[in-house]
Amino acid sequence: MSAQAEVLQQAFTLGYTYTRTTGPVVGRFLTALRDRKIVGIKGSDGKVIVPPMEYDPVTAEELSEFVDLPDTGVVKTWAWVKHPRGKHLLDKPFAWAQIQIDGSDIPMIHMVDAGDESKMSTGMKVKVRWADETKGFITDIACFEPA
């Protein structure tokens, strides 16, 4: 039996820049984002889903009826990130929220920059803060902010 070996530790990054194809539904949503617009899609039961799903969560039908929506909405639930993690896209305290875009039924998740937890509440109105430059990516919505 030999003496105890040293503990060998080393940081490493596992990563790749994936090149994804979006298909027509996700592509349509991202194209709209680039134009600083939000589109939803009608589910089998007529409810408007944001971001648009390709297939209905209940019937599994392929969905295709897009609906133009405003860039405002209402917070359905939220969580306050007091200490953003390194990967988080905002480097100051922020909220995650499920936001029901006005005119839609199924809410989306994004960030809300409200400055302070006390400014957050379920039912509050928010609007999109668009990125300075949009490119057709989910982060074209930089975040939402209190409206």
Partner 1 sequence: MRDIAIVSFVQSDCVRDAGALNEVELIMPVIRKVLDNVGIQSAQDVDFTCSGSCDYLQGAAFAFVLGVDALGAVPPIKESHVEMDAAWALYEAVLKIRMGQADSALLYGFGKSSPGELPIVLSQQLDPYYLSPLWLDTVSSAALQARALLDSGKATEADMAEVVARSRKNAKSNPHAQLKGDVSVDELLAEPTYLSPLRKHDCCPISDGASAMIIATVEKAKEWGKPYAVLKGIDHRIESHHFGARDLTRSVSTEIAAKAAGVADGPVEVAEIYAPFSHQEIILKKALGLGDDTVINPSGGVLAGNQMMASGLSRVGEVANRIIKGEIKRGVAHATSGHALQQNLVAVLEGA
Partner 2 sequence: MAELAAVVGIGQTKYQTKHKTVSIAGLVRDAALKALQDAELTWDDIDAVIVGKAPDMFEGMIMPELYLTDALGCNGKPMLRVHTAGSVGGSTAIVAASYVQSGMFKRILTVTYEKQSESNAMWALSNAQPFSVHLNAGAGGFFAPIIREYMRRTKAPSDAGIKVAVKDRLHGARNPLAHLQLPNITMKEVEESPMLWEPLRFLESCPSSDGACAMVIANEELAAQSPKKPAWIRGAAMRSEPTMYAGREEVSPQAGIDCAKDVYAQAGISNPRKDLDCAEVYVPFSWYEPMWLENLGFAEKGEGWKLTLEGATSLDDKGDIPWNCSGGVLCSNPIGASGMIRFAEAARQVRGDAGNHQVDGAKLALGHAYGGGAQFYAMWVVGSEKA
Partner 3 sequence: MSDANKEALEPITGIESPVYLDYNFTAGQATARYLTKVKEGKLVGQRCPSCRNVYIPPRGACAACGVATTEEVELSNKATVQSFTIVHIPIPGNPIKPPYVIANLVPDGANISFLHLLSECKNEDVRIGMRVEAQWKDASEWTYAMENIKYFTPIDEPDVPAEEIGRLKDA
Calculate Rg over the CA atoms of the chain.
20
Give the bridge partners for 129, in sequence order: 143
Cis peptide before 51 (omega within 30 of 0): yes
CB of 30 to partner 3, least distance (A): 4
Angle at the Cα of 105 (from 57 to 121), degrees rounded to 5? 120
Shortest CA distance to 42 belongs to which of 65, 73, 19? 65
Q: Answer yes or no whether residue 60 interacts with partner 3 by CB under 8 A.
A: no
Q: Answer yes or no whether residue 2 interacts with partner 3 by CB under 8 A.
A: yes
Select the span of 9-17, 66-74, 88-96, 108-116 touching partner 2 (CB under 8 A): 9-17
Select the span of 61-69, 78-86, 127-135 touching partner 1 (CB under 8 A): 78-86
Q: Answer yes or no whether residue 65 interacts with partner 2 by CB under 8 A.
A: no
First to last CA, the chain: 69
Q: Answer yes or no whether residue 92 interacts with partner 2 by CB under 8 A.
A: no
Q: Identity (one letter) of the amino acid at 118? A: S
**CA 29 to CA 54: how far, in whole Å?**
11
Select the span of 61-69, 84-92, 126-134 touching partner 1 (CB under 8 A): 84-92
Q: Are 124 and 72 in contact (CB under 8 A)?
A: no
Binding site for partner 1 (CB under 8 A): 7-8, 12, 14, 18, 20, 22, 26, 30, 49-51, 53, 57, 76-82, 85-89, 96-98, 100, 106-111, 117, 122, 137-139
Binding site for partner 2 (CB under 8 A): 8, 10, 12, 14, 16, 18-26, 53-60, 62
